Amino acid sequence: MTQLCHSPSRSRSPVRSKPGSPQHLPSQTHRTSLIPHVLPAPALVESVAGGAHFSGGGRPQSPEGNGNPHDSPKESPLGLKKRVSSPGPPPNRHSVHHRGHSGTWDGETEHLTERKKQVLKDLKELYGCKPTQEIFARSWRKDATFEDPLCIAVGYDEYAAQWYAMPKLFSHSETLRSRVMSCTHIPNRLVLFQTQEYTSRVFGRKKTIESIVTLDLDQEDKIMKMVDQWDGAALPARFGSGFLRKANSKLLPWIVGVPKQKK
């Protein structure tokens, strides 16, 4: 049998090296790790950190949350706690209220001259399916132009036919909202916003149209050009649209009788 010899432990005492002799470096002893190589130590640490993340661990949080009173820990169906932050109150939104009703204009009317107020009053009568010769003689020039998505009417016979056709197409027309958006002197112009509700005479259906109306006035504050943009959209500009709009204006006076304007 092989005999096992145990050498007695020797006490280490500081050894003074003689001058000029080389110093001995301390030796290092390598020992094998007790953790098996199947799961290295770094992987073990990462797995523990991942488990702390899903279980609500990690950096400590106050019971009140991140300063939001709506923050509160909730428990998922799997038993894991997670913090859900509820959205705060919605931001304030400033909505524009058009307070004008039928027969009145809201906005800058208090700064308008009496002549311009009369133009707006006559225009409301026209949109209400109440055209008269007095309105055109008082507030429109004979060579005025009227444009909307359906027509380009030039002169009294053409633009008056558009208004005289309305009572034949609609049994009722009401201005729900109206507002003076701007009034300038150079150029002499009024920009209006209005919401009009039309009731069809044939089927009785109602149609609501919001539009931006631009009025260009002459020195006597008579309408020399009017543009009605439905829904604020630009007028049709595709190929052939201008021809059809002009043809509509030429044809309508033959269908709708237009009274001769008094001299």
Report angle CA 95, 99, 103 to the nearest 5 degrees. 150
Q: How many CB atoms lie within 10 A of CB 145?
A: 18
Domains assigned to the chain = 106-255 (3.10.450.50)
Helix (H, G, I), strand (E, B) or coil at 206: strand
Indicate the pTM of the whole model.
Answer: 0.60
Residue with tokens 């009025």: 215
Give the Cα separation of 9 and 18 in Å (integer). 25
- From first to last of its 263 residues, what are the pLDDT tens digits of the chain? 444 444 444 444 444 544 554 455 555 555 554 444 444 444 433 443 444 333 344 444 444 444 444 444 444 444 444 444 444 444 443 333 333 344 455 555 678 999 999 999 999 999 999 999 999 999 999 999 999 999 999 999 999 999 999 999 999 999 999 999 999 999 999 999 999 999 999 889 999 999 999 999 999 999 999 999 999 999 998 989 999 999 999 999 999 989 988 76
Q: For 127-181, give the DSSP string.
A: HTT---HHHHHHHEEEEEEEEETTEEEESHHHHHHHHHTHHHHEEEEEEEEEEEE
Give the Cα separation of 173 and 216 in Å (integer). 24
Give the Cα separation of 113 and 183 in Å (integer). 11
Rounded to a whole number, what is the distance in angstroms from the first to the last CA of the chain? 146
